[in-house]
Structure 1
Amino acid sequence: MKKRALPKLLYADSRGNIFDHPYLTMAGMSGNEAVLPESVELIPLPDDSRLFTIPNTPPIAWDARKRSFETVERVKDGRRSIPVQAVSAFMAPGYMRTLLPACDYSKKKVHLPLWSYTAVGWDEETERFVVAASRVDANENWLPKNYDDRKLDPLVRKMAALFPKNRLLEQLARCAVDYHCFAAKNLFFRRWEAPIPTSPVCNSRCLGCISLQPSDCCPSNHERIPFVPTPEEIVELMLPHLNEAPEPIVSYGQGCEGDPIMQAETVAEATRRLKREASRGTVNFNSNGSMPERIRMLCDAGMDSMRFSMNSVQENLYNRYYRPNGYRFADVVQSVKTAKERGLFTMINYLVSPGVTDSPAEVEALLRFIGETGVDMLQMRNLSIDPAFYNDRMGIEARGIGMYRLLETIKKEFPKIQYGYFNRTREKFYPEGYEKGWPIE
């Protein structure tokens, strides 16, 4: 049987035009080390994904003739030799990247914006782009094709007329129209998961925070909500959503806020009212889980599920990313245990990056963490951050075991653990056959 050819290197010229190299092969990066992708982790570029360049950063490719990795700073264009830059994919939601783009990050002149960067190449045999990734969630509600802005504006105007004094509605209208937040748009489309931002403050100082960044880093993707909504404002918007929307979820803890645990009293009161008055739907709480006693109170208020954000289950790496202010890593672990003990569907918003997440030490720690907490789901969320900056801050020195192999290892040890990317309705917390829910074809 003829061996399948490896995908070709993609590169871009100074204008952003993308080309495939005639003979050099696509590479990826695990941490700071260039590697060849395994065939099992190469999939067609998902629909609704995007390609973009990494400015002033030359790509690294595999040269099969020399049997070595090569930094490609220039390529021939006719009689000329032109400088080139690396190409990255930003994938549609639901897919976990397994390799970073392979390039010489030391050459870049800027701190890269807060996107998730994925290795991408060109498959000559199928004539399509391929990425190093694995699908971890089959839910297609969040695909960009479902969010037609031409239909959005009249819906925003209509709801604004219904609730003219509701400040939370004004915030979510801005999120939907200006920031193109899909969750905010769902509120106006009256469907699926809608957001409830509540907190202008946070007790973490995350390196990759999308709502607050120091001036010497990079622009944040959003501005934070500047006020704390009242329980009345929350219930006024979210009760109709729970009672009327298909597959309804209302969810605290959004990209346009700090952490809702800082407003636990308001959140608890609003949740009690929603659960008392709604006949259906799911109420979810996304948080850093920094205050276990508040988590207990929120469980008692009627939450259905909780999702705790973590970049690592190793205390030193967690602290380097979250930079906790007034809480400890042990508090987060206790909050996860508390939510599970109180009977909630419990998830980790696991911010993953190849070379960090699949390091042998992290894999070992993750196995212990799952065993100790009984967490139901790992949401394998691609961490949006400059890869070189993140690897440096995490002190990464060696490659990982492979992201696909990480998923296999965890699933073998804990068959009932679920992988995902999105929050779920109560009816789908434990779907039939969920023990075999990965890989997703």
Structure 2
Amino acid sequence: MRLVYADANGNVYDHPDCEALGRSGDMIVDLLEEELIPLPEGATLVSLPGTRAIYADPNTGDMKALQGEYTAVGALLPQGYTRLLLPAYAKKDKNAVLPLFGYTAVVWKDDGFHVAARQSDDPYKWNPRTCDPDELEAKVGKLLAQYPENRVYRHLSHCALEYECLTASNTFLGRWEGGVPVSYSCNAGCFGCISEQPDDSSFVAPQTRMNFKPNVDELVELMLEHLTTPESIISFGQGCEGEPSTQAPLIIEAIKRVRQKTDMGYINMNTNAGLTDHVRGIVDAGLNLIRVSTISALDDHYNAYYKPRGYTLANVEKSLKYAADKGVVTSINYLVFPGVSDREEEIEAMVGLAQRTGLKLIQLRNLNIDPESYLGIIPKPRGEILGMGQMIDIFRQELPDTAIGSYTHTPDSLRKKHLQMK
């Protein structure tokens, strides 16, 4: 397994005399053959600015840093793939911060790039190549002309065409899971928020949060336009907005009006679920699916990352339990990080949360963060680090009624996943 690195111009090379390594948390580790898969379609290789690649000398086994004007390289995986290890690197400036991406260890092996990852879902629907840019531009133009006063469509047109957000693109293409952002505020101050950072933050938010409050008519127009097939999903709570449940009255009224006109498709909400009373109202209005974002089922870790305002992890659990009891298909958007999520105490706590709430699906999402910054704010490990692959295996063994995936599923596709697991 050869080291992969990049020069100052972004050209990528493999080194015949340097053995590739990986990283788990803050530890440099050997790569195992069973951890590697060919670079998936839709993945992107990126250089890690201001870093030196760490490798093993094949003659002595010593760890060394690659000298010269070169940087470490990582892979950004498409949805459907869970990273098992980070790239092995050292920062030239310890205070420098990497852009907010989910870097995965990449090597050269058997005449091709390989990554330390495992496929956790069918990547087809979230492969960028399924989105034809010419068709998308035409559909954006058509819906903007059809609904010229709808500010939500205008906002999403920027997300689709500029950020190339697939959820926003789906809204215009009328397929699968589409987004309907509704909130400009949030009740959490997430350390790695991708849409809003405080003025003194060392991070740069890669997206712009919506800055207006939509009205019910705008939401209903968009929802009815999208909910036209049995597998259609329309989702509140996007990367370009705050916490959707802060706008519960809007969402409740929109769901009621939409369901008076059609029972087609599924209405989903991506949420931190901290506002339990608001979540109850939305569930009672006719919500079908709920995906709750979390990074841990341990209070100290959760609080360090989310910085919740006026709620606790106990509120999140109450929301999940209430939704499940009312027949809503519940899932978590689990932000995972090698060397942290695979700690013994983290796995045990997450299994307990899933069992207590009747969780139907764990969506594994690679956390987009600067590793050093993240590791600097969270608790130190209290038990053994078992590895990401073993973490997934434990979930499958201990949670036979909870599917493992990577994105939101309809009840029908969830049943198919359960059959595949058995």
TM-score by length of 2: 0.96
1:293 and 2:293 equivalent? no
Check whether the contact 2:83–2:118 (CA below 8 A) recurs between aligned residues. yes
Paired residue type of 1:258: G
CA RMSD of aligned residues (A): 1.7
CA deviation digits over 1:388-409, x for unaligned, max 9? Answer: 1111111446872110000111
**Shift of residue 68, structure 1, vs aligned partner:** 3.2
| Partner in structure 1 of residue 331 of structure 2 | 347
Note the alpha carbon deviations across 1:361-403, whole angstroms, 9 max, x for none: 1012112212211111110000111111111111446872110
Residue identity in the other structure for 1:45? L
1:426 aligns with 2:408: no
1:33 is matched with which residue?
A: 27
Match for residue 415 of structure 1 among 393, 400, 406: 400
Once residues 402 and 84 of structure 1 are traced to their aligned partners in structure 2, the CA distance between those partners, rounded to angstroms, is: 29
Whether 1:203 and 2:187 are equivalent positions in the alignment is: yes
Higher relative contact order (CA 8 A, sep 6+): 1
State the secondary structure of the residue aligned to 2:97: coil
Match of 1:382 among 366, 387, 390: 366
**Offset of 1:71 from its aligned partner?**
2.5
- Which whole-Å deviations, capped at 9, do the CAs of 1:93-130 have from their partners, x for residues lacking one? 2100010111113645531111111000100x2x1100
Letter paired with 1:94: G
Corresponding position of 1:4: none
- Name which of 133, 138, 148 aligns with 1:154: 138
Letter in 2 for 1:390: Y
**Structure 1 residue aligned with 2:106:** 120
Secondary structure, in 3 states, of the residue corresponding to 1:58?
A: strand
Match of 2:31, SS?
coil
Q: Equivalent residue for 1:328? A: 312
Distance in 1, matches of 2:120 and 2:108, equals 23
Partner of 1:77: none
Which secondary structure does the structure 2 equivalent of 1:176 belong to? helix
Sort the Cα spacing of 1:90 and 1:139 in 2 relative to 1 into closer, same or farther, 3 A: closer
SS in 1 for 2:355: helix
In the aligned structure 2, how far is the partner of 1:432 from the partner of 1:176?
A: 29
Match of 2:224 in 1: 239
Give the residue type in structure 2 aligned to 1:418.
Answer: A
Output the CA distance in 1 between the equivalents of 2:136 and 2:331: 31
1:96-245 aligned within 5 A: 96-105=82-91, 107=93, 110-123=96-109, 125=110, 127-215=111-199, 216-243=201-228, 245=229
Give distance in 1, aligned partners of 2:260 and 2:409.
Answer: 21
Secondary structure of residue in 1 paired with 2:16:
strand
Q: 1:407 to 1:422 in 2, by over 3 A?
A: same
Which residue identity lines up with residue 256 of structure 2 in the other structure?
Answer: R
Question: What does the per-residue CA deviation read over 1:187-240, in whole Å, with 9 as the maximum and x for residues that have no partner?
Answer: 211111110100000010001111101243222121111112122111111112
* Deviation of 1:328 (Å): 1.2
**1:95–1:134 Cα contact (<8 Å) kept:** yes
Residue equivalent to 1:338: 322
Verify the 8 A CA contact 2:79 2:123 in the aligned structure 1: no
8 A contact 1:10–1:121 mirrored in 2: yes
- Offset of residue 429 of structure 1: 3.0
Contact 2:81 2:123 in 1 (8 A): no
Asked if 2 retains the 8 angstrom alpha-carbon contact of 1:415 and 1:435, the reply is no
Match of 2:184, SS? Answer: coil
1:91 corresponds in structure 2 to 77
Alignment: residue pair count = 420
2:419, 2:56 → 1: CA distance? 39
**Residue 90 of structure 1: CA displacement?**
0.6
Aligned residues with identical type, % of pairs: 38
Matching residue's letter, 1:193: E
1:57 aligns with: 51
**Corresponding residue for 2:7?**
13
Shift in Å at residue 427 of structure 1? Answer: 2.5
| Paired residue type of 1:115 | F
User: Are positions 1:392 and 2:376 aligned together?
Assistant: yes
Alpha-carbon distance in structure 2 between the residues aligned to 1:158 and 1:436: 42
**Structure 2 CA distance, aligned partners of 1:62 and 1:228?**
54
2:281 is the counterpart of 1:303:
no
Q: Does 1:24 align with 2:10?
A: no
* Aligned equivalent of 1:43: 37
- Structure 1 residue 168 displacement after superposition: 1.1
- The CA distance in 2 between the partners of 1:108 and 1:58, in whole Å, is 12
> CA–CA distance in 2 between the matches of 1:434 and 1:105?
45
Q: Give the Cα–Cα distance (whole angstroms) in 2 for the partners of residues 223 and 399 of structure 1.
A: 39
SS at match of 1:119: strand
Counterpart Cα distance in 2 of 1:262 and 1:174: 23
CA 154–184 in structure 1, closer or farther in 2 if over 3 Å, else same = same
